[in-house]
Structure 1
């Protein structure tokens, strides 16, 4: 498995549908590449990228988010490689079906092997990559493709998927990412099959911390980035189960002078914050709500929305709220794949953290920095070994209330008792 495209974005509105038009109409620029081309909505040249769909994208050359994880920074210039279509066609064996890693609204994602070149010679070493190819029928593909180049071209952090380069030839738009061996968190929580192994508690906490660090970096960089589509399918895992955020096609820059960005509602139904759904006002803490939804999914092993569940359970957050607030009730909704192997105290704290992230009022939600700190503290809470309960009346006696143990007699003793009764009984009786 590897980097997978997200599912089709369908965030809710009052009519149950979601607009698929992204962002504002401001023209923006940022230095990124060394090639040039134009489309009706996109222009990339040696001087940078301009767009009328991605909002106010103007990065500073440094980031204040280094303490949210080692190596986090905003690069002054991107160093994305420009691939030819023939290179990527060869790398994916002509986009053969057996190389498909996933598929979403943007298009399909393929596993590829790109040969390393040294001058005119081709080295024997090959890099394994994930290649996302735009679906020609995608209505928002060009905008999402560009947003990926803009954001991932300059954002660098251990908990963000690394974009290696891109390709634009004729009508072909492609993106090349590092390959993520363990696929998506979604696959591990909800997937079935021999290749999918249940995630133990410690691994789930590790993944949550990594994803939280990625969001904290975005929110605390010099120019705040609102991810806007936080969900389990966009959290990818490397070979050591380190979490990395992927798919920045819907990301927005937060307004410097205002508390929120007003934009058309996009995202994924079940994860979008209520204030964003009802008003179109997008806050940094709208991402925190989505994080809370994923925490509940990780606790329960259930999807945020599932029409196959009973009507009262279809919306996971609404159904789970009463259980999350009570540690004794919580065990009734914990993922059965955990088989009870988790520290109940830590699980209770994760549940309480999820509830604060899911507060209806965005101001009441914690910052992602606070979320990271909370998760890191509870990661040290380990499961206590289970000891059978003993009902002791005193330390000296293993029998409650002085009750004597049953004495099991051998068959020899039973036979002697029967013979004695026969001898003692009156004759003829």
Structure 2
């Protein structure tokens, strides 16, 4: 499918007037609304334009408030739920919009125009947490939880990272032991997105203590109110204020046998499930980075046009033009790469190296674009309250989570080199 969102001029969003589209209109499936898996071109255009208008009219004016208060206003959360944004990647049969990957990355690019904390609200439901159920859940588990994830009634978290198990999940230490007809979980998870507000956490634990590496890991569906599960205080982060993370502690958490993702057949399948979820998430994050790069270029261009030095706009200086040209070029390269990787993801020809390459390039790219944006702004770019200063801090995280840039390098290189790159 060709890209459908309007990128005006050299690839930046202009103002959009969406006739008949209002912030709050529901995007997901249902009577009289956009339909799911086979989203028609006009329907997708409606979704993207509606989201674009919502971001510019409702969210962008609140960016400084979100930054200062470290919270998304409840009115915005309610609108995101009403629009169906909590379920854009969840299939229509479970109450979501059912976007394929090409469509999803276009939406993610739109979402990148504003504070990444907004997307984080519903990112886990659509991404790594929701995909645990989509990739490995039983039909009963999907029916019980996915409709509630899609509506925003329930928020899910992805409980994989630990103090000594981040980019390499095979070294996790959280343990799961059989106890009668159920399981008991003990351990701790770190930096878990949305855990302070989560209703359910997808917990990865080693279910076979004799196994090593990627073997013997299972995923468990653990409701927040399960005795023995506790969530620590919110982390104080460099950026992405309004997106909450915290530690999760499991102390003798007892869950029934049907809490294993995939049921009995899902035991020891946790690493496989996590790998698939992360591949999907990496491509989504790559697209988000492209959207943020578009906003950064926009801010850079507008500043260069209006800031004067020596009685003329700095946009006339060729060294400034060079910085802008580099950022525009990298933005366009990232966008093309994401769309190409999404097409390969959808047709099944590449769901490993392509997402990793896209995430690696785009997360590094948006960091360079942010750095140039601050440079063009000069002293103003170093001041709190200026958009590019906030985004400069926000984008640093993308090179770390969902697998560091170094992990992506390893994945891409091993795919290219094959057995020669492995022990």
Whether these two folds match at TM > 0.5 is no
Higher helix share: 2
Superposition TM-score, scaled by structure 1 size: 0.25
TM-score, normalised to structure 2's length?
Answer: 0.25
Larger radius of gyration between Structure 1 and Structure 2: 1
